[in-house]
């Protein structure tokens, strides 16, 4: 191999190495994305709003389902306890008989936490 060929080969393999992490990240797709309250809101409006009030100051269509604002403002609730609840489908009441995938749960929890307020009082 001539000197210039060797140089080109080194440059090429360096370029391949640099290109690799980007490919790996792309193949992990959604999971690598940070949680998004916007995606969470879009999802709960589609899948939860038939029972729960999902936005601030909204009442639940199904009176047995607490508005998400009440849920989000429960004392002691954190992103961890909320994700835990949403992950464990056995905790769901029978009426909520479905599972939600992990990336969605992070979005939903991120959205619900935007409803937290200091001095929140549940609606009468």
Binding site residues, ligand HEC, CB under 6 A: 44, 47-48, 50-52, 62, 64-66, 71, 85-86, 93, 95-96, 100, 108
**Where is 101: in which H helix or E strand?**
none
Output 13 or 38, the one with its CB closest to ligand HEC: 38
For the CB of residue 98, give the shortest distance to ligand HEC in the complex, in Å: 7
The C-alpha atoms of residue 54 and residue 38 are separated, in whole angstroms, by 13
For the CB of residue 46, give the shortest distance to ligand HEC in the complex, in Å: 9
**Residue 79 · residue 109 · CB < 8 Å:** yes
Output 22 or 116, the one with its CB closest to ligand HEC: 116
Output 38 or 50, the one with its CB closest to ligand HEC: 50
DSSP state of 20: H
Cα–Cα distances (Å) from 40 to 19, 115, 123, in that order, read: 32, 12, 23
For the CB of residue 33, give the shortest distance to ligand HEC in the complex, in Å: 19
Give the pair of three-digit tokens for residue 58: 């909204």
């Amino acid at each position: 191999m001539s000197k210039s060929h060797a140089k080109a080969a080194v440059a090429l393999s360096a370029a391949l190495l640099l290109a690799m992490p980007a490919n790996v990240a792309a193949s992990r797709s959604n999971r690598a994305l940070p949680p998004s309250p916007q995606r969470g809101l879009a999802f709960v409006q589609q899948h939860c709003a038939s029972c729960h009030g999902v936005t601030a100051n909204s009442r639940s269509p199904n009176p047995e389902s607490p508005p998400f604002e009440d849920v989000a403002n429960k004392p002691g609730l954190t992103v961890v306890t909320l994700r835990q609840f949403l992950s464990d489908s056995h905790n769901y009441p029978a009426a909520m008989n479905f599972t939600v995938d992990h990336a969605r749960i992070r979005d939903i929890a991120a959205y619900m936490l935007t409803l937290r307020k200091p001095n929140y009082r549940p609606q009468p």
